[in-house]
Chain A
Amino acid sequence: MQDWRVFLFDEMDTNLETLRSIVTDLTQEIASVQLSSTSEAEEFRIKFLGQKRGLITQLFKTIPNLPKEDRRDAGQLLNALRKKAQSTLDAAKEQTRSHSTDLPEIDLTLPGRQNQWRGSRHPITLALEKITDIFHRMGFRIAKGPEIEDDWHNFTALNFPEDHPARDMQDTLFIDEGDQQKSRTLMRTHTSPVQIRMMIAGKPPFRMIAPGRVYRNETITYKSYCLFHQVEGLVIDEGITMSDLKTTIYSFACAFFGEDVKLRYRSSFFPFTEPSAELDIWWEIPEHPDGGRWMEILGSGMVHPNVLKAVGIDSERYTGYAFGMGVERPAMLHYDIKDIRIFYENDVRFLAQF
């Protein structure tokens, strides 16, 4: 609400003295004002500082009517007054804000609004990511290859001789029989052909891992599926030894299973590595009579000279190691999954747990 005094100021025949006494009065008035609510503060603002008819605003408008030599002093007087009014107003606003009593009612216990469901990555993706991430940090490059492969990349180049029982180690799903010009076509039985593709495409040194899907021509049961996922690793350089292989695998196992992992290396056989070793980790099972059992996790070994020969690498100069591990098996151990088929059934109640 505007103050009636504005009309006085409108018509005032001004001089500096009058102005000074008005300012003194207003200063006292402002100092004595009590502003205890938002509405009172607003009233105060309109009365003194209102853009159109505020008392102080109006006094500023009288400045041009003053003698030239007094205008500067008048300006200073009025500015000080305005500042005083403004700070009183600000203080009051600050106070009323913190003391406000007219809040709307709110039930904070209501659940938060959900505009979207939670999505989830498949546990096989999680396990694959965990494995590849560890090796990636060790400086391994990720490589990928096709799932339809030819016999040469999947077997021959990996030192599986034709008509050798080693080929029975993996039940193979064939696509075509090939002919004189063309090797047989099949679904890759392991990710190892990616090694061959990488070594042919590049030059040593190599340090790579190849995650991917592999196939076995087996009927589906709770413990075997017609396909599964593998991560393959390969390191080729001068001076690489079996001790380096063990060091890398040990570092991996500590990162993946924890620093207190208990493991053992067993002599084994893979056509494409020699010497070959399998890694078992000790898995605690409280109800087991021995308190746990050894679980096969990973196959590995020094790359066989015949493999290096097949891809044109001098095995006298370069040595290297390779390893491969299934993804489902550690994931089943980790998540306590007893039936491999659950991964491929994709029940939402299963997926929602990851």
Chain B
Amino acid sequence: MKISYNWLSEYIDHGLSPDDLADSLTMFGLEVEKTERSILSLDGVIVGHVQSVSQHPNADRLKICQVDLGNHEIVQIICGASNVAMNQRVPVATVGAKLTTENGKTLEIKKAKIRGQQSMGMICAEDELGLSDNHQGIMVLTGTSNIGESIEEYLHRERGIVSDASFDLAITPNRPDATCHMGIARDLSALLNIPPKFPDITLHADGDEAVEWIDVKIQCPDKCARYSAMIVQDVTVTDSPVWLKQRLESIGLRPVNNIVDVTNFVMFECGQPLHAFNYDQIAQKKIIVRESRAGEKFVTLDGKEHSLNDGIILICDGEQPVALGGIMGGKNSEVSNSTTNILIESAWFDTSRTRRSAKALGISTDASYRFERGVDSTLQPWAAMRAAQLIAELGGGTIVPGIVDIHPRPKPAQTIDLRISRIRKILGTKIDDFRVTQILASLGFQPKQQDTGVISCTIPAYRPDVQLEIDLIEEIVRIHGLENIGISKYSTLQLSIPLPRSEDRLREQAHSHLTGHGFREIYTNSLLPNDLAEQFSHEVLETNYPPVRTLNAASSSMATLRPSLVPGMLMVMQHNTHHSQRVLRFYEFGHLFHQSTDQATFIENYSEYDGLLLGISGPVQPENWDGNTRITDFFDLKGEVSQLLDTLRLNTLEMQFNNQASKITEYHITLYSNEIRLGAIAKLSREIQASYDLPDPVFFAEFNWTRLTLLHENAPDPTYEPVSPFPVVERDLAVSVDRSQPVAPMITALQKAGIPLLKDIKIFDVYTGNRIPKNQKSIAFALRFGTNRTLRDHEVDQFMKKFVNVLFEQFDATLRN
């Protein structure tokens, strides 16, 4: 919300500059997000008289002007504007003047030599003075101007322009009282201890002649607690005077006519939203306040037709609705240029009902903004009278004596007891009792000190947000100043040394491991376009459960929660490919989501867990001076995964191999432990690879990190196994088998046959080629034997014979060499 410095200054002699005022407001809870000067700094800018203009000898576009600045001071100024001419009166920024440019920088005017000619100032254009955006030549002053007088004086006298500042305030939802100039002045008066000066209004008596003009009935008193109506007759609807226009323009409002402008002015003055009806359009001189029925239609001031839900507060005349209460007036009773009699509505509407209605209608107005937060429930007659007086004054009308003030449910003022001991218990600082009482009084809480260490406060109607003792404590500290709460040298925290959670420790290990292995961590969006989320809700990954959709995403690109980290990574790979990066090695930790009735985690119907993704594509190693690199393949990733799991002590997972292509993969391995699925290692399908413009094959491994963590937590800590002092015996064994024979079952068979002496088995070569038959491949195993004594050669020889037999019988393998 915007407020104006000059306007605010009418209600309090605060004595602060705009910058200091902005600072004070910010510090006590009314944050100034932006300060704007309606006229930029004009110190040192005065009226000059152009005595002569001649061509600059060294520049076609520049002119040399002799300018009279008054007091017999005539200076030479170089000017580039084409419209400068003799005998003009112009604004001159004299040497030493500081102009504020549009982007907030300060431009100091200095003596200068321009192409060899001295220049003692600057003749200004309108934009340089902050008067408009106009930079079409210099500003030529019209009307009366006195040589040497300050430009501010001139502008004020001739154009009625006063320099002002506006503040953009971020009003927090608990401060309905601060949505107007008087409210802010009231707050400032508490802070500065200076009394405010509010307009003196004499209220009309309840009833009187007004009753004959209008009859008001409230059918929903819990939604509309008060309705005050006044009438001004015989007005002329016309433009507002300059002062009123300026007030409204200073806070960014567009002046409309004297009637509408007054209602806006009063709202921004005292916080009470008003509505002005064309009285002659109000059928049967009746106002009825009721709730809408579903399906009713209504056309608002802006010409839009709304089909209403039930429960919206409607202001009706004797025949039809004429306004949406607290939100917007109707087209049918709008004030036009020909309107002569005005009905002023000043009412109180329920906060949550206004909010719900405005939300349902999709309308937010200055009025609804204030009713939603809570308007002072005692203010209605004051605001009506203030508006009536101004309308009568500016529109040449007369106020119909009396006010119709229907007030079915007056709210008694609330009182709250504040325990003095509680203040210290919350703040940790002792504030003097006298100071506490003074602050409360200055904020209008009428504190009454009781003997029992309790201050009893009466809550003014403009502070409906203050409902609890803690609210009063906040008010005290807000005015007392947070900076006056001391910082202790010592911590009062109990001694406690929390160890990192095992999940955090495990994650830290994974981070260190993966970054050490050349992976770069990425952060991708958890929100995906729906089709992408559907595509990767796949059983190769965690699940083929449906993904979780959002109801109201601001963009369709964030319609659905990610079921997998893969699509995010592919977009990252694509981006980097488009920027000529070929080395693509990424990892990401992040939450994954899917719908689930049986596996719901925290919230019914939804499953959410931590995922970890590794993805690689491109060269496997940096290129060095003595060798070539190659493109990453599946076994590079499989190896990375085994090493990672080894680091995390999770190397006992079972693998299920799947050579079948799926919609998203060419082949994959699924990882399990005790039939619980933990993740998959896969090669991305070529179609998807191509659709992301990726030149090299893409391999990824996605894990359910939540389950891995649980598995890790349940695993026993390792215990030391003494290292054998006896030497190991190493043997190699190379066999030929059918080309399609997988190697894993052969290893299993050898391990089984090697009990108890075979300690380790590795494959050191897999060969296909000219030296062996076409349909065969050669596999070379490196075997290590050992036990708790020195082995003899013949013992190992027996095992080697057994191995050859086993491989021959089970896999039709023949010994090579």
Q: Are A114 and B477 in contact (CB under 8 A)?
A: no
Known contacts A148-B593, A162-B352, A274-B474; is-contact A139 B496 (Cβ 8 Å): yes
Q: Are A113 and B603 in contact (CB under 8 A)?
A: no
**Number of B interface residues, CB 8 Å?**
98
| Chain B residues near A352 (CB-CB < 8 A) | 520
Q: Are A241 and B482 in contact (CB under 8 A)?
A: no
Choose the segment among B78-86, B117-125, B168-176 that binds chain A (4+ C-beta atoms closer than 8 Å).
B168-176
Known contacts A138-B493, A163-B355, A241-B428; is-contact A267 B478 (Cβ 8 Å): yes
User: Residue B486 at the A interface, CB < 8 A?
Assistant: yes
Q: Are B493 and A119 in contact (CB under 8 A)?
A: no
The complex places the Cα of A351 from the Cα of B588 at a distance, in Å, of 13
Per-residue CB contact flags for chain B residues 455-491 toward chain A (1 = under 8 Å, else 0) read 0000000000000101101100110001101111001
The complex places the Cα of A267 from the Cα of B174 at a distance, in Å, of 12
Which A88-144 residues have a C-beta within 8 angstroms of B?
110-111, 113-122, 124-125, 136, 138-142, 144
Q: Are B521 and A125 in contact (CB under 8 A)?
A: yes
**Nearest-CB distance from A292 to chain B (Å)?**
14
User: Residue A329 at the B interface, CB < 8 A?
Assistant: no
Q: Specify the chain B residue showing the minimal Cβ separation from A168.
A: B173
The complex places the Cα of A349 from the Cα of B578 at a distance, in Å, of 13
User: Residue B602 at the A interface, CB < 8 A?
Assistant: yes
Residues of A in contact with B, size category: 35 or more
Q: Are A226 and B527 in contact (CB under 8 A)?
A: yes
The complex places the Cα of A147 from the Cα of B589 at a distance, in Å, of 14
The complex places the Cα of A116 from the Cα of B483 at a distance, in Å, of 53
User: Residue A217 at the B interface, CB < 8 A?
Assistant: yes
Q: Are A242 and B426 in contact (CB under 8 A)?
A: yes
| Chain A residues near B497 (CB-CB < 8 A) | 139
Q: Specify the chain B residue showing the minimal Cβ separation from A301.
A: B474
User: Residue A235 at the B interface, CB < 8 A?
Assistant: yes
**Nearest-CB distance from B349 to chain A (Å)?**
13
Known contacts A166-B173, A242-B427, A243-B427; is-contact A227 B527 (Cβ 8 Å): yes
**Nearest-CB distance from B38 to chain A (Å)?**
19
| Chain A residues near B524 (CB-CB < 8 A) | 344, 346
Per-residue CB contact flags for chain A residues 169-186 toward chain B (1 = under 8 Å, else 0) read 101011111000010010
Q: Are A175 and B550 in contact (CB under 8 A)?
A: yes
Q: Are B576 and A348 in contact (CB under 8 A)?
A: yes
Partner of B496 from A116, A207, A319, A349 at Cβ < 8 Å = A207
Partner of B553 from A139, A182, A205, A217 at Cβ < 8 Å = A217
User: Residue A248 at the B interface, CB < 8 A?
Assistant: yes
Q: Are A165 and B173 in contact (CB under 8 A)?
A: yes
| Chain B residues near A119 (CB-CB < 8 A) | 514-521, 585
**Nearest-CB distance from B578 to chain A (Å)?**
10
| Chain B residues near A235 (CB-CB < 8 A) | 493
Q: Are A246 and B355 in contact (CB under 8 A)?
A: no
User: Residue A51 at the B interface, CB < 8 A?
Assistant: no
Q: Are B606 and A267 in contact (CB under 8 A)?
A: no
Q: Specify the chain B residue showing the minimal Cβ separation from A235.
A: B493
| Chain B residues near A244 (CB-CB < 8 A) | 428, 488, 491-493
| Chain B residues near A242 (CB-CB < 8 A) | 426-429, 477, 485
| Chain A residues near B575 (CB-CB < 8 A) | 345-347
Q: Are B426 and A220 in contact (CB under 8 A)?
A: no
Known contacts A242-B426, A248-B491, A267-B28; is-contact A218 B551 (Cβ 8 Å): no
Known contacts A139-B493, A187-B550; is-contact A319 B426 (Cβ 8 Å): yes
The complex places the Cα of A346 from the Cα of B518 at a distance, in Å, of 15
The complex places the Cα of A139 from the Cα of B105 at a distance, in Å, of 46
Q: Specify the chain B residue showing the minimal Cβ separation from A279.
A: B482
**Nearest-CB distance from A92 to chain B (Å)?**
33
The complex places the Cα of A242 from the Cα of B501 at a distance, in Å, of 29
| Chain A residues near B604 (CB-CB < 8 A) | 182
| Chain B residues near A349 (CB-CB < 8 A) | 579, 581
| Chain A residues near B511 (CB-CB < 8 A) | 121, 125
| Chain B residues near A248 (CB-CB < 8 A) | 491, 493
Known contacts A113-B626, A122-B521, A219-B555; is-contact A148 B606 (Cβ 8 Å): yes
Partner of B493 from A162, A207, A217, A277 at Cβ < 8 Å = A207
Which A216-268 residues have a C-beta within 8 angstroms of B?
217-220, 226-227, 235, 237, 239-244, 246-248, 250-251, 264-268
**Nearest-CB distance from B579 to chain A (Å)?**
6
The complex places the Cα of A168 from the Cα of B424 at a distance, in Å, of 33
Q: Are A269 and B521 in contact (CB under 8 A)?
A: no
Q: Are B492 and A240 in contact (CB under 8 A)?
A: yes
Which B177-210 residues have a C-beta within 8 angstroms of A?
none
Partner of B492 from A168, A175, A239, A268 at Cβ < 8 Å = A239
Which A288-332 residues have a C-beta within 8 angstroms of B?
289, 302, 304-305, 319
User: Residue B753 at the A interface, CB < 8 A?
Assistant: no
The complex places the Cα of A142 from the Cα of B500 at a distance, in Å, of 8
Q: Are A269 and B427 in contact (CB under 8 A)?
A: no
Known contacts A164-B352, A248-B491; is-contact A243 B429 (Cβ 8 Å): yes
Q: Specify the chain A residue showing the minimal Cβ separation from B103.
A: A289
Q: Specify the chain B residue showing the minimal Cβ separation from A287.
A: B105
Known contacts A166-B173, A244-B428; is-contact A351 B520 (Cβ 8 Å): yes
Q: Are B471 and A274 in contact (CB under 8 A)?
A: yes
The complex places the Cα of A174 from the Cα of B552 at a distance, in Å, of 6
Q: Are B494 and A205 in contact (CB under 8 A)?
A: yes
Q: Are A185 and B606 in contact (CB under 8 A)?
A: yes
The complex places the Cα of A241 from the Cα of B219 at a distance, in Å, of 49
| Chain A residues near B427 (CB-CB < 8 A) | 241-243, 275
The complex places the Cα of A176 from the Cα of B26 at a distance, in Å, of 38
Q: Are B586 and A149 in contact (CB under 8 A)?
A: no
Q: Are A173 and B552 in contact (CB under 8 A)?
A: yes
Between A and B, 14 residue pairs with Cβ closer than 8 Å are A113-B625, A117-B622, A163-B351, A171-B554, A173-B553, A182-B604, A207-B493, A243-B487, A246-B487, A267-B478, A267-B482, A275-B473, A276-B474, A346-B523
Question: Which 10 A-B pairs have CB atoms at the shortest separation, nearest pair first?
Answer: A241-B428, A243-B428, A119-B515, A269-B172, A163-B352, A267-B29, A117-B518, A275-B474, A146-B602, A265-B482
Known contacts A148-B548, A163-B351, then 10 further A-B pairs from the complex at CB < 8 Å, ordered by chain A residue: A115-B622, A117-B585, A146-B603, A165-B173, A242-B429, A243-B429, A243-B487, A267-B478, A275-B477, A277-B482
